[in-house]
């Protein structure tokens, strides 16, 4: 019998980190205000009381220093889990991540392992101020040596954070902040699928929607609307933006003949660009229509009062569905 509990995504990440810290004393958690406060989203709440200030501690407000410290700890055999407080704050650490963290294992011919997890709350939808609602995942997916993943539900959040911590390679763990309070069932006893495996959440026959993170809920909403119109949409959660499980997506496209790729980030030079190009290679003779990408507009993230216009919703996905079915 499965051991099921209901948790929010935030609580599921917390529980996953707690289990990882219980199983391996080399796992350390740190970042801005993560200790007593539990982070601005309370994702690390309670860990200080259980593990003490040697294993979970606050850092200075210096993202480059946070990542540099994580690199040094990894060199000494620890498994650091570093929190970047908001997506838009990761840029001061960009050089440390893409020039050092991503390359040290290759540069040392495998001598230095970098089992570092960088947790990043990302995306919009919370009415935040500037620099608090960005989707920078494509920068890091582009960089060889980094793994980039994002859970969309509590069960994945619980298991994927543990898999990321166990990885010998650095993992950018993007957490959809507007879904933090979304609740769902978590199977504490299941054998999780691979960290970089895509999952079909809703089977369909007419159109495939491939997406990840905060847009998964939106895609499922669009699928419900489409069903009322007699359109059967298949929804794939790709879960991993680097590497991408292209084979899983391709099998779906060969069945439906139509593909929409959606995310909150702008579509220019994006995760959706890569998927669209790869599907053109793998599924050219199966596609009945061009691959359509749905994302944020190619402008800086707007003020909070305009973000509902910027963020893709079910209506924009349905518009894309109409377009691919028109061919």
- 147-149 β-sheet, strand order: 56-58, 27-31, 79-83, 117-122, 171-176, 147-149, 240-242
**pLDDT at residue 26 in the model:** 98
CB-based contact 175:122 (threshold 8 Å): yes
- Nearest CA to 222 out of 211, 327, 265 is that of 211
- pLDDT tens-digit readout, 125-184: 999 999 999 999 999 999 999 999 999 999 999 999 999 999 999 999 999 999 999 999
User: Is pLDDT at 118 greater than 60 in this prediction?
Assistant: yes
Architecture per CATH, 4-187: 3-Layer(aba) Sandwich (3.40)
Q: What percent of the chain has pLDDT over 90?
A: 98
- 292-296 β-sheet, strand order: 199-202, 233-237, 207-211, 259-266, 292-296
**pLDDT at residue 1 in the model:** 54
Instruction: Give the C-alpha distances (Å, rounded to integers) separating 199 from 9, 98, 237, 250, 274.
Output: 18, 28, 5, 12, 18
Across the range 185-210, mean pLDDT stands at 96
For 39: left if phi > 0, alpha if psi spans -120 to 50, otherwise beta; the answer is left
Mean per-residue pLDDT of the chain: 97
Write out the chain in H/E/C secondary structure: CCCEEEEEHHHHHHHHHHHHHHHCCCEEEEECCCCCCCCCCCCCCCHHHHHCCCCEEECCCCHHHHHHHHHHHHHCCCEEEEECCCHHHCHHHHHHHHHHHCCHHHHCCCCCCCCCEEEEEECCCCCCCCCCCCCCHHHHHCCCCCEEECCCCHHHHHHHHHHHHHCCCCEEEEEEHHHCCCEEEEECCCCCCCCCCCEEEECCCCEEEEECCCHHHHHHHHHHHHHHCCCCEEEEECCEEECCCHHHHHHHHHHHCCEEEEEEEECCCCHHHHHHHHHHHHCCCCCCCCCEEEEECCCCCCCHHHHHHHCCCHHHHHHHHHHHHCC
| Residues that are catalytic | 132
Across the range 55-68, mean pLDDT stands at 97
Domain with CATH 3.40.50.920 in the chain: 199-325
User: Is pLDDT at 60 greater than 60 in this prediction?
Assistant: yes
Predicted TM-score (pTM) of the model is: 0.96
Across the range 5-12, mean pLDDT stands at 97
Domain with CATH 3.40.50.970 in the chain: 4-187
**pLDDT at residue 308 in the model:** 93
Please report the sign of the dihedral spanned by the C-alpha atoms of residue 96, residue 99, residue 102, residue 108: negative
pLDDT band for position 117 (cuts 50, 70, 90): very high
**pLDDT at residue 2 in the model:** 72
Across the range 80-90, mean pLDDT stands at 97
Across the range 258-268, mean pLDDT stands at 97
CB-based contact 321:207 (threshold 8 Å): yes
Q: Cα Rg for the chain, rounded, in angstroms?
A: 19
Q: Hey, what CATH topology would domain 199-325 get? A: Rossmann fold (3.40.50)
Residues paired with 148 in a beta bridge: 172, 242
């Amino acid at each position: 019998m499965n051991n099921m509990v209901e948790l929010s995504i935030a609580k599921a990440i917390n529980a996953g980190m707690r289990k990882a810290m219980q199983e391996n004393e080399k796992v350390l958690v740190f970042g801005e205000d993560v200790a007593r406060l539990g982070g601005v989203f309370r994702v690390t709440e309670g860990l200080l009381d259980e593990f003490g200030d040697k294993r979970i501690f606050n850092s200075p407000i210096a993202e480059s220093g946070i990542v540099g410290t994580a690199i040094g700890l990894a060199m000494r055999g620890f498994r650091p889990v570093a929190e970047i407080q908001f997506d838009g704050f990761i840029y001061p650490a960009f050089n440390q991540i893409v020039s050092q963290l991503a390359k040290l294992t290759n540069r040392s011919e495998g001598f230095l392992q970098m089992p570092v997890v960088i947790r990043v709350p990302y995306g919009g939808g919370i009415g935040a101020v500037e620099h608090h609602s960005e989707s920078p995942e494509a920068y890091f997916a582009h960089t060889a040596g980094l793994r980039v993943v994002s859970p969309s539900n509590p069960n994945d959040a619980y298991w994927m954070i543990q898999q990321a911590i166990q990885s010998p390679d650095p993992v950018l763990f993007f957490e959809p902040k507007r879904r933090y309070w979304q609740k769902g069932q978590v199977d504490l006893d299941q054998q999780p699928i691979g960290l970089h495996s895509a999952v079909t959440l809703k089977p369909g026959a007419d159109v495939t929607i491939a997406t990840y993170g905060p847009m998964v809920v939106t895609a499922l909403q669009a699928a419900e609307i489409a069903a009322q119109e007699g359109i059967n949409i298949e929804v794939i959660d790709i879960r991993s933006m680097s590497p991408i499980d292209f084979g899983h997506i391709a099998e779906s496209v060969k069945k439906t003949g139509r593909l929409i790729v959606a995310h909150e980030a702008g579509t220019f030079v994006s995760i959706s660009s890569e998927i669209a190009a790869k599907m053109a290679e793998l599924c050219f003779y199966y596609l009945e229509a061009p691959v359509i990408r749905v994302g944020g507009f190619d402008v800086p993230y707007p003020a909070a009062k305009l973000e509902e216009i910027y963020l893709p919703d079910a209506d924009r996905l349905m518009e894309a569905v109409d377009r691919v079915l028109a061919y």
